[in-house]
């Protein structure tokens, strides 16, 4: 729309060289900045940069406290006080209030007191807090990664500022549309709007505001700022995904739909899903004099094709084993995960592709382990739902149907190049939404709506007729029950802990605005307790060197607690308490009641030993918090760091 096009132009002209030099964009691949202007001439963007900086600062402080990088806070009438023993300082979080799961809300000013000089100053910059944290920890526990971390933070703040500016303009445009149609509720407008053909995809992009607690949630090292605008979901980004060609002897294929995994099967399957695209590919190959019987089509993200593949696969490109074609292309929308693309014009599968940039804390490739394990897990999950309709009634699976990756003939299994040319095809959520239903990523529930400025979950509950405290508690209990009947039952009975955080989980609401089911997607981070799964008549072999399949019960439970209980239910509990003036304790007591109910329901279906271990581990023992920022600083993204967390379910 016109207003949003102008906003993109504003961004492209308002970002200063000072900001870009901090991220590396000022000296970019092409030798000059894509932006012009001075930030002093653009106070609007400057204000958004300040807002992004403050958001990141609060995330850093939360991470430092929750992940035990700083000592525990003392409660005072002015706010939490954190002693910094090594540097002889005190940190005051003015106005801050302690919440469950080690969180703090309502932080106003962050003030630093020097116990030696008696002076105090306000900490208002994320960079200042990083330097303070590095000094307090003596730079010792994080292997000298502070400078790299600062670069990631600076890049993330810039991208976050652009995102905030665009999101506000988008909301302003949506407010105008609501006014023109005399509609008060954004939620109900989305449900009924003829201009939104795929609400799930709309919410994927509208709600892509970033991780609540991760300070690098908008970091995208490796992209120029204009590429961030082009490809990121928060800017309604898209990519013209092209079909390249790879020699069949250089391809490894995995499929959930049949036992035979070959390049011929991939071509047939892809032709059924995207007939016109594959037909164009065949014609393109024929014009070039290339034999389609020898090659397989391979989807390529345009950024990957232009910037990562030419050097990495130089030898294979030279010998014609890999061909980066200039078409055919399909316009696909970026989803919340950035590298997973959704067809705009069909209900065809989502396409997960490697884009070798650092987004958040990791380089976003698609590993052979994911390619081969995803379809296997999908097959098992679909079989479980067939066997156990109670789980299926509450949990809809978006299977990873087919995967493929580059593999040199007789190559080493740990060849790092494999993950840079790969693909996973996942079922489209729209294909599992019935008439009158609306699905969205759970992350969307916490984003403020245009016009009302209320979180989306609040508008949904109001549309459902929630007015009294009793109504709130009933609605909340129903929501919790639906989540647990799917995810907790799957974990307790079958040992499968889905990585069911806000991005990987979609909530399905009916036409009466009631939650009816959850959808689960992206099985790369799943943990499966092999023996427990086997005890229920299913089996799965893990990929060599991967950690997906395990007999470590604590690791599997940590996955469930982190993703479902903390990342999903913990945030629903907090937002509803804040929005409706309730205490978290009341809501957590309902969660505990529903967890206990599931344990009692499943008592006869699992062993007494497992029942006791899991009952104690979930309802009584302290939980573990996944220390995302520490993991980044210590460069341990492939094995987790946990810190203890007070269990809010414990009486």
Tokens, residue 422: 């790969």
Q: Span 290-314, mean pLDDT?
A: 96
DSSP state of 31: S
Task: Inform me whether the pLDDT recorded for 273 exceeds 90.
Answer: yes
Predicted TM-score (pTM) above 0.95: no
Q: Report percent pLDDT > 70 for the chain.
A: 90
**pLDDT-derived band at 39, boundaries 50, 70, 90:** very low
Who has greater pLDDT, 481 or 344?
A: 481
- How does pLDDT run across 165-201, given as a tens digit for each residue? 999 999 999 999 999 999 999 999 999 998 899 999 9
Dist CA 442 CA 427 (whole Å): 18
- CA–centroid distance for 538 within its chain: 29
Dist CA 297 CA 314 (whole Å): 19
Query: Which regions of the chain carry the CATH code 3.30.310.280?
Result: 43-182
φ, ψ of residue 624 to 5 degrees: the values are: -115, 140
Q: Which residue has tokens 């037909």? A: 279
Instruction: Supply the angle between the helices 469-494 and 571-580 in degrees, to the nearest 10.
Output: 180
Q: Span 524-531, mean pLDDT?
A: 96
**pLDDT-derived band at 631, boundaries 50, 70, 90:** confident
Task: Inform me whether the pLDDT recorded for 475 exceeds 60.
Answer: yes
Dist CA 353 CA 599 (whole Å): 39
* Rounded to 5°, angle at Cα 102 from 338 and 526: 40
**pLDDT-derived band at 141, boundaries 50, 70, 90:** low
State the pairing for strand pair 515-520/395-397: parallel
Task: Inform me whether the pLDDT recorded for 593 exceeds 90.
Answer: yes
Cα 360 to Cα 210, 264, 354, 637: the distances in Å are 9, 36, 15, 11
What is the chain's mean pLDDT, rounded?
90
Residues in the chain: 651
Q: Span 46-75, mean pLDDT?
A: 94
**pLDDT-derived band at 142, boundaries 50, 70, 90:** low
Report the SS3 class of residue 464: coil
Just give the CATH number of 43-182: 3.30.310.280
Class of domain 436-620: mainly alpha
**pLDDT-derived band at 640, boundaries 50, 70, 90:** confident
Q: Span 445-451, mean pLDDT?
A: 97
- The per-residue pLDDT for 638 is 62
Dist CA 64 CA 113 (whole Å): 18
State the pairing for strand pair 97-98/104-105: antiparallel
Task: Inform me whether the pLDDT recorded for 38 exceeds 60.
Answer: no
**pLDDT-derived band at 30, boundaries 50, 70, 90:** very low
Report the SS3 class of residue 205: helix
Task: Name the E strands within 501-559.
Answer: 505-509, 515-520, 527-529, 549-550
Task: List the single range of 32-46, 313-327, 378-392 with lowest mean pLDDT.
Answer: 32-46
DSSP state of 542: P
- The per-residue pLDDT for 257 is 65
- How does pLDDT run across 278-294, given as a tens digit for each residue? 999 999 999 999 999 99
Q: Span 372-393, mean pLDDT?
A: 96
Q: Which residues are CB-neighbours of 426 under 8 A, at least 6 positions away?
A: 340, 349, 350, 351, 352, 398, 399, 400, 401, 521, 522
Dist CA 166 CA 443 (whole Å): 18
Task: Inform me whether the pLDDT recorded for 643 exceeds 50.
Answer: yes
Q: Report percent pLDDT > 90 for the chain.
A: 81
């Amino acid at each position: 729309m016109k207003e949003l096009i102008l906003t993109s132009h504003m961004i492209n002209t308002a970002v200063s060289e000072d900001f870009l030099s901090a991220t590396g964009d000022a000296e970019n691949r092409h030798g000059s900045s894509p932006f012009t202007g001075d930030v002093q001439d653009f106070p609007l963007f400057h204000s958004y940069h300040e807002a992004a900086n403050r958001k990141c600062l609060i995330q850093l402080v939360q991470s430092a406290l929750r992940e035990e990088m700083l000592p525990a806070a003392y409660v005072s009438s002015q706010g939490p006080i954190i002693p910094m023993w090594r540097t002889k300082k005190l940190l005051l979080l003015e106005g801050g209030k302690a919440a469950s799961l080690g969180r703090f809300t309502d932080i106003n000013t962050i003030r630093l007191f020097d116990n030696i000089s008696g002076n105090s100053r306000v900490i208002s910059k994320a960079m200042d807090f990083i330097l303070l944290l590095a000094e307090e920890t003596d730079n010792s526990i994080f292997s000298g990664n502070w400078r790299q971390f600062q670069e990631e933070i600076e890049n993330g703040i810039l991208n976050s500022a652009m995102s905030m500016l665009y999101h506000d303009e988008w909301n302003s445009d949506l407010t105008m549309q609501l006014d023109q149609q005399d509609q008060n509720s954004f939620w109900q407008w989305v449900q009924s709007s003829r201009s939104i053909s795929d609400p799930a995809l709309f919410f994927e992009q509208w709600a892509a505001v970033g991780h609540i607690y991760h300070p690098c949630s908008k970091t995208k090292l490796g992209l120029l700022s204009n590429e961030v605008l082009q490809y990121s979901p928060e800017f309604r980004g898209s990519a013209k995904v092209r079909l390249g060609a790879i020699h069949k002897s250089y391809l490894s294929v995995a499929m959930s739909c049949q036992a035979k995994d070959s390049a011929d099967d991939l071509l047939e399957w892809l032709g059924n899903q995207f007939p016109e695209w594959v037909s164009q590919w065949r014609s393109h190959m024929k014009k070039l004099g290339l034999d389609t019987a020898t090659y397989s089509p391979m989807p390529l993200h345009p950024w990957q094709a232009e910037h990562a593949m030419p050097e990495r696969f130089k030898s294979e490109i030279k010998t014609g084993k890999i061909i980066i074609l200039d078409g055919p292309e399909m316009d696909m929308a970026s989803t919340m995960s950035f590298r997973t693309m959704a067809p705009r014009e069909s209900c065809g599968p989502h396409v997960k592709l490697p884009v070798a940039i650092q987004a958040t804390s990791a380089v976003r490739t698609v590993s052979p382990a994911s390619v081969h394990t995803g379809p296997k897990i999908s097959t098992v999950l679909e079989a479980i739902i067939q066997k156990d309709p109670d789980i299926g009634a509450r949990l809809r699976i978006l299977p990873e149907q087919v995967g493929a990756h580059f593999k040199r003939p007789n190559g080493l299994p740990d060849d790092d190049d494999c993950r840079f040319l790969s693909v996973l095809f996942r079922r489209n959520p729209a294909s599992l939404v019935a008439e009158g239903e609306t699905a969205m990523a759970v992350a969307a529930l916490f984003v403020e709506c245009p016009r009302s400025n209320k979180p989306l979950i609040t508008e949904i509950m109001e549309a459902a007729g929630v007015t009294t405290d009793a109504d709130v508690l009933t609605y909340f209990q129903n929501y919790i029950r639906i989540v647990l009947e799917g995810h907790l039952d799957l974990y307790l009975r079958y040992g499968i802990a889905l990585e069911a955080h806000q991005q990987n989980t979609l909530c399905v609401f009916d036409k009466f605005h009631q939650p009816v089911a959850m959808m689960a997607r992206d099985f790369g981070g799943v943990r499966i307790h092999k023996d427990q799964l086997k005890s229920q008549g299913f089996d799965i072999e893990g990929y060599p060197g991967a950690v997906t399949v395990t007999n470590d019960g604590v690791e599997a439970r940590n996955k469930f607690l982190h993703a479902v209980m903390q990342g999903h239910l913990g945030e629903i509990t907090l937002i509803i308490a804040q929005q409706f003036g309730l205490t978290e304790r009341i809501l957590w007591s309902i969660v505990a009641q529903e967890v206990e109910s599931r344990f009692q329901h499943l008592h006869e279906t699992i062993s007494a030993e497992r029942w006791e271990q899991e009952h104690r581990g979930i309802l009584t023992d302290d939980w573990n918090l996944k220390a995302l920022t520490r993991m980044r600083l210590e460069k341990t993204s492939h094995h987790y760091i946990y810190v203890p967390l007070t269990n809010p379910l414990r009486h």
